[in-house]
Structure 1
Amino acid sequence: MFNLKKKDLKRFDWLLFISVAFLSLYGLFILYSAFSGKISNIKSQIVATVLGFILIFVLCTMDMDVIKKAWMPVYVISLILLLLTILFGQGEQEWGSNSWLILGPIQIQPSEVTKVGIIFALAAYFDKYKSNINKPSGLLISMAFALVPVILILLQPDFGTAMVYIFFIAVMFFMAGLSWKWIIALLAIAIVGFLILLLNLKGYRADRIHDFLDPSRDTSGSGWQQQQGLIAIGSGMLTGRGYMKGTQAQYGYIPEKETDYIFSVLAEELGFIGAILMLIAFVIMIYRFIAISKNSKNTFVSLLVSGISAMFFIHIFENVGMTIGLMPVTGIPLPFFSSGGTFLLICFANVGLALSASMQKSSYDIEDASEYETIKFIR
């Protein structure tokens, strides 16, 4: 499982690593302000960050060709975690869905943990069965394999996280070579299903859609969060009000400012320049993911990093989009910025897998190296 001989250290993607290091430190900097300078509130985030960097270097020593053989156990464990969440999950009163498992002092959100597991399992599955993906029977089996975890998440119910899964699953199907005729057919089915879902939404979920379509509908009620977030972002203007000087952030006008609405804190206090700096770092990170996926000769690696790239992209797009009014409000955290040790560690794990993939030698590299050593020995 750990095999440095299968790694080319010269291929280590320093630009990806530096962008992630910058984002994680920037996130701690903004989170400290969101908690009004209370260091005790970000201790767990600091610990998760340190553990995350250790996790990256551990994953960088792992042989991708070996660990991909564990894709079925990883998939099964992911499903078990999601089933346990349906049976024993908590959090509906606080967060709107029973998406958390509480084990004494430990609190985890399995749907976040299983993101990396499902991406990993899907990459290995498509690597093994991609020749069947455009056959009707093969496509049905592949869809069932991919959508079971989504159904389990919808039963919690956690629609925002389910949408994240659907997005990266769709990207991975496309990268696996799904025919355009199937893409168009599935897209039509998805649109119809989405419209039916919208028409049957009730409670606060329906309010979020209505508030998105009409932001002035209920600014003192269900639209309060969105409205206060927009006020914070707008008041930041070019350079911001100053670090830890944001009136919306520091006086508690923004709900969930440490998690879902952390971007509003950043934009209010550091302004457009601070927000653009964050977005540039995210663009560099995703660009490097795409480059690793594109340049890899290994189908499993290419699909794995494509899924990771899609997961990060939809998180960033949805989180920033909802704070500026481009998307409905959902409980989607911003990678490396939102408070939450579980999600932060999963982000680091995904980065670690991508960096490990970038250094993985292909079978051709190994054969060439062996041949070179043989010739050298003979001489």
Structure 2
Amino acid sequence: MFKREWKNLDKVMLFSTILIVCCSLCIIGSATHINKGVINYDFVAKQGGAFVLNLLIVLFFSRFDYTRLKLFAKPLYVLNLLILLAVMFVGTSALGAQRWIQVGPITIQPSEFSKLIMIICTAALLSNKVDKLNSFKSLLPIGLFVGIPFLLVLKQPDLGTSLVFLAITFGMLFVSNVKMSLLRNIFAAGVVLAPIGWHFMKDYQKSRILVFLDPNADPFGAGYHIIQSKIAIGSGELFGKGLFQGTQSQLNFLPENHTDFIFSVIGEELGFMGCIVILFLYFLLVYRGLVTAKECKDPFGMLLATGIVSMWAFQILVNVGMTCGIMPVTGIPLPFMSYGVSALTTNMLAMGLLMSIYMRQQTMIF
């Protein structure tokens, strides 16, 4: 039985993920090993422990029949709304946002888990509507379905995760054979309505967009992150300064160097070649996810795989672009790389679902 399951496992996806997380632990260790003059690896220990536990969960999920999730879509959707509402009333605040819930010594970020829950729920909704989305009226229930949790996350405020919701939804609509003219019109409407959304944004969110256009307009304020990130990546040149040898990250010039700006540390310490290796591993991960979606004959499984790949691809694109100064700073973590137990658990569970979809297709073939 073990040999048969190992044969059907997507080993490229599994080992790509393991390599990314191993690189992540090295970079997190480099970025955080000195805290107030004392050497410790608490962040590495927490992230590494979470990875080992999640890896066991992934292996369990790979044997799980993903089609059963469709039966729990409605309860999961209600649960998702409840935990997002709970953040508003009992959540803890940090860095100007209320996104976390403290459960004893454990800090949970519900919006991270919300992304995977919405993939499952939206896939269940769209699985019965494939090839039937040809009017605005047919899209209206989907808009309301996604719009409620979208607004709850936006209220925290968490613009980055809200944008991930949109990326997931558009990716899943695309493979549902929605009329392309509808998507173009929705995109055009979003561009037209963008100035209205500007008035509802927080001041720090507006500053991030303005400094994206000109970081030097506020070099010691909102533009500081981008400037330091570009210095770090540029100074790494071809092969980098070496692990634990970066100046911007080691001397704390680079803020959030183990979370949102961890790719900047990679650029500085491992150089252009290190960045290429990491991006190649991400390419393998996304590519295998697309292959899984393409080969899946079940609409629900196809939509699940597409939603997961859309989530990863969007977050990789935005995070890497953000650290290079070609995207606004939105606080979107780099999948499997940025420190954060909630984010790591969400991504590992997503990979487990992809493994389950892939293995079921291989079982059907053989």
TM-score range, shorter chain: over 0.9
1:143 positional shift: 1.4
The residue aligned with 1:224 is: 224
Q: How far, CA to CA, are the matches of 2:267 and 2:361 in structure 1?
A: 42
**Residues 271-325 of structure 1 deviation map (CA, whole Å, 9 limit, x = unaligned):** 1111111000000100000011011111111110100001001111111111100
1:307 corresponds to 2:278? no
C-alpha contact (below 8 Å) 2:119/2:304 kept by paired residues: yes
Q: How far, CA to CA, are the matches of 1:250 and 1:176 in structure 2?
A: 47
Aligned pair count reads 360
The residue aligned with 2:183 is: 183
From the superposition, tell whether residues 213 and 200 of structure 1 become closer, same or farther in structure 2 (CA, over 3 Å): farther
From the superposition, tell whether residues 201 and 117 of structure 1 become closer, same or farther in structure 2 (CA, over 3 Å): closer
1:87 positional shift: 2.1
The residue aligned with 2:21 is: 24
1:88 positional shift: 2.0
Q: Which amino acid aligns with 2:207?
A: D
Q: 2:102 aligns to what SS in structure 1?
A: strand
**Residues 56-84 of structure 1 deviation map (CA, whole Å, 9 limit, x = unaligned):** 10101111222321111111111111111
Q: How far, CA to CA, are the matches of 2:71 and 2:156 in structure 1?
A: 30
Q: Which amino acid aligns with 1:32?
A: G
Q: How far, CA to CA, are the matches of 2:178 and 2:134 in structure 1?
A: 6
The residue aligned with 1:83 is: 85
Q: How far, CA to CA, are the matches of 1:10 and 1:184 in structure 2?
A: 42
Q: 1:107 aligns to what SS in structure 2?
A: strand
From the superposition, tell whether residues 305 and 298 of structure 1 become closer, same or farther in structure 2 (CA, over 3 Å): same
C-alpha contact (below 8 Å) 1:101/1:110 kept by paired residues: yes
Q: 2:107 aligns to what SS in structure 1?
A: strand
Q: How far, CA to CA, are the matches of 2:146 and 2:63 in structure 1?
A: 28
Q: 1:100 aligns to what SS in structure 2?
A: strand
**Residues 144-194 of structure 1 deviation map (CA, whole Å, 9 limit, x = unaligned):** 112211111111121111011111111111111211221122112221232
1:198 positional shift: 2.8
C-alpha contact (below 8 Å) 2:129/2:176 kept by paired residues: no
Q: How far, CA to CA, are the matches of 1:72 and 1:274 in structure 2?
A: 43
Give matches, 1:200-279, under 5 Å.
200-279=200-279
The residue aligned with 1:156 is: 156
The residue aligned with 1:287 is: 287
C-alpha contact (below 8 Å) 1:233/1:271 kept by paired residues: yes
Q: How far, CA to CA, are the matches of 1:46 and 1:73 in structure 2?
A: 32
Q: Can you give the 5+ residue segments of structure 1 that lack an aligned partner in the other structure?
A: 370-379
Give matches, 1:319-338, under 5 Å.
319-338=319-338
1:361 positional shift: 4.4
Q: Which amino acid aligns with 1:85?
A: V
The residue aligned with 2:36 is: none
From the superposition, tell whether residues 8 and 124 of structure 1 become closer, same or farther in structure 2 (CA, over 3 Å): farther
| 1:73 equivalent among 55, 72, 75 | 75
C-alpha contact (below 8 Å) 1:232/1:267 kept by paired residues: yes
1:131 positional shift: 5.3
Q: Which amino acid aligns with 2:25?
A: L
The residue aligned with 1:116 is: 116
Q: Is the radius of gyration larger for structure 1 or structure 2?
A: 1
Q: How far, CA to CA, are the matches of 1:60 and 1:270 in structure 2?
A: 33
C-alpha contact (below 8 Å) 1:116/1:350 kept by paired residues: yes
Q: Which amino acid aligns with 1:106?
A: I
Percentage of matched positions with identical amino acids: 36
The residue aligned with 1:95 is: 95
Q: Which amino acid aligns with 1:44?
A: K
1:129 positional shift: 3.3
Q: Can you give the 5+ residue segments of structure 2 that lack an aligned partner in the other structure?
A: 34-38
Q: Which amino acid aligns with 2:23?
A: Y
| 2:53 equivalent among 38, 51, 54 | 51
1:202 positional shift: 4.2
